[in-house]
Amino acid sequence: MLKQIAVGELRIGMHVHKLDGPWIDHPYWKTRFVIAGGDELKRLQSCAVRTCWIDTRLGLDVATVPDPAPTAPAVPRPLPASPQPAATPAPSASPSDERQRAATICRSGREAVLAMFNEVRMGRTVDAENCLSLVEDITASVWRNPDALVSLARLKTQDNYSYMHSVAVCALMVALGRTLGMDEATCRRAGLAGLMHDVGKALMPLEVLNKPGKLTEAEFAIMRSHPERGHALLLEGRGATPEMLDVVLHHHERIDGTGYPHRLGGDALTTLARMGAICDVYDAITSNRPYKAGWDPAQSIARMAGWKGHFDPALFGAFVQSLGIYPTGSVVRLESGRLAVVVEQNVGSLVTPVVKVFYSMRTEMPIMPARLDLARAGCSDRIVGREAGAAARFPHLNELWVDDPVPM
């Protein structure tokens, strides 16, 4: 039997069937569950939701539990006004262990975004709540080990770029939020905004969106309309959050006010909008596109660092911390005269990742691939620079840094 009660009447052992009010106001992205412990009960009683529905067939009824406890006041959890990089949490899973799970999430994410774009193209509205379980899976993966999913999401083809780009930006937003010290619920909201940031591109003409060459001025003007088109689309649909609307509309703004669509800058841009700008650009320039090959991850970080006025400096510093100065997949030159591809990050040491050597610059010949932990005690080798243009010279790089075959 379903029964509506005040949140203050909830007790351990009750089965919550539905929480009233907007889903963003409560701490759970699932809506049907049994209250298993006191911490879970406190989270419910401290959220903004005031009433809910319980199912007495699956859990306790109000009448069976005397002496209800008082409801705790709501505790707002705003985004930090002046975020600074926090101590990066240690991963709870290795990249190799997490990579298989991350590949499954990437595949389901690609299908979910493709389905959403197709719905829009058929004239239907967007229901953002349909993406909640996907964002929860992405957030959980990044929380276990951000390197696995963030790196895999970069391995997109030209054909699925538009869909995998949304998944990648979602993962990058969660990873950046994690580095900034945001809690998991806040990172989920940032991730959802990242997943939806390019929804306006579903309304762009396919011949313009997938054009293999340089856009004309008229075509570029069409593409520049996608933030406002996406914002309007979300307002017409269901489940849009303030964070989502903000990132969709402002992820192409720049900190110096030269971006679009509104040329906002400085304090007029929220933390999430600034995060979205960084994550969107990084994934775009590291991905293969119809009109150009993607840049090496380390090369991309270096180039972005030189674009003065584009990005919030503090947030960009945190972004580098979340990925590493030499992100996974980067090709680096070692002091020993070998080339290596970065396969894993070492937490707390941005310049000494785990690499896999594969080429001798002295003999100009491939060598037997071997893993080398540059942070290991006694390791005498070190990185002396990035290797520009390596993707064109070594087309099988991805097979080197992905140790086990991962079907995408």
pLDDT at 191 over 70: yes
CB 273 within 8 A of CB 266: no
Helix axes 297-305, 313-323, angle to 10 degrees: 170
Q: Which of 212, 83, 233 is nearest to 158 (CA)?
A: 212
Average pLDDT, the chain: 85
* 83: confidence class by pLDDT, cuts 50, 70, 90: low
Residue 403 CB coordination number (10 Å): 15
133-142, 148-157, 169-178, 364-373: range with lowest mean pLDDT = 148-157
Mean pLDDT across 177-198: 95
The token pair that represents 94 in the structure block? 């290795």
Half-sphere exposure at residue 241, Cβ-oriented, CA atoms within 13 angstroms? 25
pLDDT value of residue 74: 33
Mean pLDDT across 172-197: 96
Q: Which of 172, 150, 176, 135 is nearest to 95 (CA)?
A: 150
Beta bridge partners of 53: 4, 18
pLDDT at 299 over 60: yes
Which tens digit of pLDDT belongs to each residue from 16-31? 878 876 655 555 555 5
Mean pLDDT across 17-46: 70
pLDDT value of residue 73: 34
162-171, 279-288, 350-359, 398-407: range with lowest mean pLDDT = 398-407
pLDDT at 298 over 50: yes
Helix (H) or strand (E) holding 55: strand 51-55
pLDDT value of residue 22: 63
pLDDT at 63 over 70: no
- Determine the Cα–Cα distance for residues 80 and 87; give it in Å rounded to an integer: 15
* 90: confidence class by pLDDT, cuts 50, 70, 90: low
pLDDT at 81 over 60: no
Residue 11 neighbours by CB under 8 Å, 6+ apart:
35, 41, 60, 65, 68
pLDDT at 362 over 50: yes
Percentage of the chain exceeding pLDDT 90: 57
* 405: confidence class by pLDDT, cuts 50, 70, 90: very low
Mean pLDDT across 128-142: 94
pLDDT at 206 over 50: yes
pLDDT value of residue 85: 59
pLDDT value of residue 69: 36
pLDDT value of residue 304: 95
What number does CATH give the domain 95-323? 1.10.3210.10
pLDDT value of residue 255: 96
Mean pLDDT across 270-276: 97
pLDDT value of residue 68: 37
pTM: 0.78
The domains of the chain are located at 2-64, 95-323, 331-401
Which tens digit of pLDDT belongs to each residue from 363-392? 999 999 999 999 999 999 999 999 988 877
pLDDT value of residue 88: 60
